[in-house]
Structure 1
């Protein structure tokens, strides 16, 4: 840790010293290329497009307004090339004289996927080494639901155990992330994770996203990126919805187990020049979906979900863009919950049965966001976002059945009534430090959660006693400075420093150790500083090496912080480091590989049925990730992810130091036939290995290996298709936990045994879409 701080301080000293010598002037005798890249059909600017001089090292990418700059170019004749996955590359010859500045606008057209167009360098966002993999997966991997979007993260697995309405349980890099404690999720800049949530710290309910509206996914593994703060220990996922629709669409789906879905997406402006705010390119669309299923359980789930989205994106001027977004989501469900393995073995219930059929709940979320992006003189951009979410959550659960109350049962009710306000602002600037490129990002933000929480006992959804209730006010104020400097034509350094200040405030009542209610009131302020230091070396145009390091943290529940008990550690620190490479051994093959390690100061586990936080103590994890994408022919692709993870509790005796439910080995892969027009198909597998369900490994969570398939037929104005899950109809456990429980009539409880939610049996659904 001291070495990381020393290296970071040295780098900041170097940057400051160079700045003081006034070496920002452009090197004499060089030229500058400026330009922009836009979509040829809509005219909308394209961000993140790779730009470079053919045969030359280095390069850049377009910014948020679609602009680029290549400075310090030696005089001569070059071929300037721009390209992005899913677009046809473009190039143009240019001859530059000393001191010349040349402007070169480009428009590029969408095209079929070609891995030959993928570049492995990421000069504008160097920490996103998975960018090439993410772009490919979004095009190739079938997405059937909102939760399937999370599976696009290489190495990430999910599990549902409450009728489809709760946030999924997440597994990544040797973490049982619970519902989001160590993995941050955002959509169009809106944070998905909920702090001090009624059910779990970092609770990330992603179901308000309509999968067909998602355009891009960016994945960041580890705590190496200064833009992210809370919950980013295992990593972060940024999802972006489409800025425009290629076509309007109506889609219907019908499947087994009374499963139905309807989707409508309407382009409001099209290409007919009916502008709302300006004569510049702009787009607007609305989308809505409705889902219903009774699922495969003996107890019908009666799951219902509605999503609605409206989005406007437009150029107010050549240097200003505006994005407006509003969405609404509501869901209700009944749940069978996880059941004891012994009850199935003894024939008390079937594999798809239920001990307490009154579990379930309802939730809703309404979002509003405005983003203003402005270009400033001197190659600088300011992006500002204001957002608001109104959120409600009402859940009935029963984890232990009749363990504590032999007569009425142990059902609990958790509610969360929340207003979430936030602002994020970033200042980005491209500059020159002597003869080298320097990219500076300064970020500033705040988030306020104003929440009413309750935890109460219930009998068949009738409330009886209160365990805890009160109001949480929690605010995070953050700032960061991120510098990316090209030390040589091949070597890039990224150094950053992030500061977070948290205010935890709780006013309410809790149940004390004697079982009586007592008041709990308090306010505490805590801070965390997180340095980052990353290196990238472009060995060849097709091989990039990287070494990354950084500090991160996950926050504690406000009630635990205010209570100040042994579990009151407000912001447990994490340190991570990794080394690896993204490379292309062949034009049609993209590989990402990394060796990594992560140390967590205090692994906190939220116990929802008691509204307390338990400390697992220090943990240590290391592992290896490998992702390969291979284009075998023009239309046939293969992909595989292999992820090995090893994690242990620190300071605990050998054999008693397993991290419960932490995955050891996971893998996904498949073959995909992708035709923009005509027949397409995909055959995929996913595997999660068996692993320890408790600290001494005496109970094992069972692994699984599943096959899924997708077929579709697409023409210009319609699409038909079918999706099949669990093609071999194997019995598998989705969510699994080791905990004590007692069934009605049992004289003694079972101290600890495996409880599980059964995974989907063979399931098929068909769909039909009309495009217009």
Structure 2
């Protein structure tokens, strides 16, 4: 039988006891007013921890600790070397947010904007730290250890669809910002978010919601003992039309089944997930089309845009502890498919048939991770060494076809890609004194790929590798304040088709420049975290991130393409205040300066890079009786082209929730989304498009996707 390791190593293994990672003050944790609506309370009880490392977590629900927490500073508060911008979110906090779409719950991560510029079945668009991250280019997303970002994807490098997320199943979320952490590799330069589902629920949950614009949702979650473990099953179905002239006609279903045994330290789980969705999309539209009366604000210039997608996965994790430390392993296989129909430029390229195109992505992904954490000492000082390996292989069919009303006209490309990668990482963590902790590590990544293109000149093989240092220093606490210094290298991979291609598949007479396979980044951060006021945690971080090549959205192809080198620096201020056990406040502000770092007469502004992101919220409620939440989100103006002559307008939104929990386990809640009926934009771009009758070269204009008008959603839930 395995033996438990010393308690300093045990603490941060559990996804519910990451006090050192989360940076939550003991008072705030024990009195956390951030709570879900009682509709979710059965699955997501508030989690309380104390400052004493040996104290177990309190709360009925337990997250699968196979992935979140614990492996980025496994030694808990004694040995964890973190940053001022890293943190931990409980499922209760996540589910206290009234949101329009599932992905928006991740806006609980300070400074993160999660929005949409198309139909509800398409991946969300992300903004963080002065990045337009498109659909995931430089933010790495994981669910139960599975990577969600898709490399060499039909619609954009790093495409990460989280529309299948079931928020009520989330037990814990761990986030990092910057490329400072050894577990983070591809797509993680701006940050990473790891989401962990629950293993069991204390009470089964049945929930139904109805709302404006044809919104309907039904959710069921149940768990039961089975053999020596527990079986959890969940099913989530949703339909939604939206306010659009051509209804979204979203139809989606997401299911989960998990069997687990043991604990976070000694146990395993096997999880299957299935998801399918189809929709019609109202994509971004030109302002001039609305001004000229061609369409209304919620209209479309191509009513056949949209698509369908599916995702099936099987994953497992295993953990074991003994007197040498902790061993962890996980593995997954994923099958996904996407058919996406978009028309961003209308009649710019083909005045007769229009510019709609079909992007096809079919893939099977397999991979896993294994690690061991050794606990020991260095000259009598507590020390941990973490060694890990990661691997991933994508077998992909990726295609681009010209279409009219979703009907095939001609092929542009239809390629087969096999892309594989492996990584080795090491991290040494030492507590030298009561006020000094260090982390010294590195990560080595290797990539290899083969492209078989229907344009033979674009076929080929590619290899690349990169080694990045990861350094951290923690000083304090002094006067309830810790100081952090972080440095690290990161990278994102480019679409490997751009690495092997030599000619433009749409115009074979034109040669194209090859893109680098791996693009390095370098990050720096200095920050502090203060807990001198009971219940209040405030953190401040100054950061800089340099990128050798920026990926930018291209409106005529609907993809991201490599561009010029960039530099970002900024400040981030985060506040969490548990005023009472039943009332909590939040407030976050990020200000970033993003510029191209080389000279070009076209300008040095990075298109769509946000300068200011802010949010605030208040959450109240008791286990029985009234509960509610009010959230504010500000998405500041952004340059849309390099010379800053075209800019977006700011977006300011309020969402609120109020509800009542009865003693019999039934709860009722009402969400009001876009409370002030703001007529602002979800997302804005500027690029050349052409409407009928316009010059052949087209016109550059703002194109926007509007925020949905005020909507209400009523939810009734029962726990049994």
Per the normalisation by structure 2, the TM-score is 0.88
Q: Secondary structure at the match of 1:155?
A: coil
List aligned pairs for 1:126-275, cutoff 5 A: 126-127=81-82, 129-130=84-85, 134-135=89-90, 137-138=93-94, 140-142=96-98, 145-269=101-225, 275=226
Contact 1:553 1:573 in 2 (8 A): yes
Does 2:421 match 1:465?
no
Q: Secondary structure at the match of 2:89?
A: helix
Partner of 1:770: 718
* CA distance 1:139–1:304, shift in 2 (3 Å): closer
Match of 1:589 among 536, 540, 558: 536
Q: Secondary structure at the match of 2:142?
A: strand
Match of 1:522 among 460, 479, 493: 460
**Mean CA deviation greater in 403-412 or 566-575:** 566-575
CA shift, 1:143, in A, is 5.2
Partner of 1:710: 657
Contact 1:128 1:218 in 2 (8 A): no
**Mean CA deviation greater in 319-328 or 451-460:** 319-328
* CA distance 1:49–1:746, shift in 2 (3 Å): closer
Match of 1:726 among 667, 670, 674: 674
Partner of 2:32: none
Whole-angstrom distance in 1 between the partners of 2:695 and 2:555: 26
Partner of 1:296: 243
| Number of residue-to-residue matches in the alignment | 667
* CA distance 1:625–1:160, shift in 2 (3 Å): same
**Mean CA deviation greater in 231-240 or 158-167:** 158-167
Does 2:268 match 1:327?
no
* CA distance 1:494–1:89, shift in 2 (3 Å): closer
Name structure 1 gaps, 5 residues minimum.
Answer: 1-31, 39-43, 52-83, 92-103, 113-119, 270-274, 511-517
Deviations along 1:432-463, one digit per CA (max 9) or x if unpaired, are 11221111110111100000011000000001
Partner of 1:754: 702
Whole-angstrom distance in 1 between the partners of 2:550 and 2:50: 47
Whole-angstrom distance in 1 between the partners of 2:79 and 2:99: 28
Per the normalisation by structure 1, the TM-score is 0.82
Contact 1:504 1:561 in 2 (8 A): no
* CA distance 1:129–1:690, shift in 2 (3 Å): closer
Deviations along 1:371-430, one digit per CA (max 9) or x if unpaired, are 11112332x111111100000000000010011111110000000110000011011121
List aligned pairs for 1:604-683, cutoff 5 A: 604-605=551-552, 607=554, 610=557, 614-653=561-600, 656-683=603-630
Whole-angstrom distance in 1 between the partners of 2:490 and 2:329: 24
Match of 1:109 among 58, 68, 71: 58
Largest Rg, 1 or 2 = 1
CA shift, 1:89, in A, is 4.3
CA shift, 1:737, in A, is 1.2
Contact 2:344 2:555 in 1 (8 A): no
CA shift, 1:36, in A, is 9.9
Contact 1:428 1:439 in 2 (8 A): yes
Match of 1:546 among 484, 506, 512: 484
Partner of 2:435: 490
Whole-angstrom distance in 1 between the partners of 2:386 and 2:410: 51
Partner of 2:28: none
Deviations along 1:255-301, one digit per CA (max 9) or x if unpaired, are 000110000001122xxxxx42x3xxx33211111010110111111
CA shift, 1:706, in A, is 1.3
* CA distance 1:419–1:36, shift in 2 (3 Å): closer
Partner of 1:86: 47
Whole-angstrom distance in 1 between the partners of 2:97 and 2:212: 22
Whole-angstrom distance in 2 between the partners of 1:581 and 1:655: 38
* CA distance 1:46–1:639, shift in 2 (3 Å): closer
Partner of 1:9: none
List aligned pairs for 1:421-500, cutoff 5 A: 421-500=366-445
* CA distance 1:195–1:406, shift in 2 (3 Å): same
Partner of 1:502: 447
* CA distance 1:34–1:740, shift in 2 (3 Å): closer
CA shift, 1:604, in A, is 2.6
CA shift, 1:574, in A, is 0.3
Q: Secondary structure at the match of 1:199?
A: coil
Partner of 1:21: none
Does 2:299 match 1:350?
no
List aligned pairs for 1:36-55, cutoff 5 A: 48=17
Does 2:470 match 1:532?
yes
Whole-angstrom distance in 2 between the partners of 1:237 and 1:225: 12
Does 2:631 match 1:684?
yes
Contact 1:36 1:106 in 2 (8 A): no
Whole-angstrom distance in 1 between the partners of 2:334 and 2:362: 11
Whole-angstrom distance in 1 between the partners of 2:490 and 2:401: 34
Deviations along 1:197-251, one digit per CA (max 9) or x if unpaired, are 0100000101121110011111100000010110111010011111211210110
CA shift, 1:581, in A, is 0.8
Deviations along 1:505-546, one digit per CA (max 9) or x if unpaired, are 110124xxxxxxx54210111000011111011223732110
CA shift, 1:609, in A, is 5.1
Whole-angstrom distance in 2 between the partners of 1:240 and 1:133: 11
CA shift, 1:159, in A, is 2.1
**Mean CA deviation greater in 627-636 or 297-306:** 627-636
Partner of 1:576: 523
Partner of 1:25: none
Whole-angstrom distance in 2 between the partners of 1:33 and 1:368: 33
Q: Secondary structure at the match of 1:697?
A: coil
Name structure 2 gaps, 5 residues minimum.
Answer: 21-44, 62-74, 503-511
Does 2:504 match 1:566?
no
* CA distance 1:242–1:128, shift in 2 (3 Å): farther
Q: CA RMSD in A?
A: 2.5
Whole-angstrom distance in 1 between the partners of 2:196 and 2:540: 25
Contact 1:145 1:211 in 2 (8 A): no
Whole-angstrom distance in 2 between the partners of 1:191 and 1:765: 32
CA shift, 1:320, in A, is 3.0
Whole-angstrom distance in 2 between the partners of 1:90 and 1:403: 62
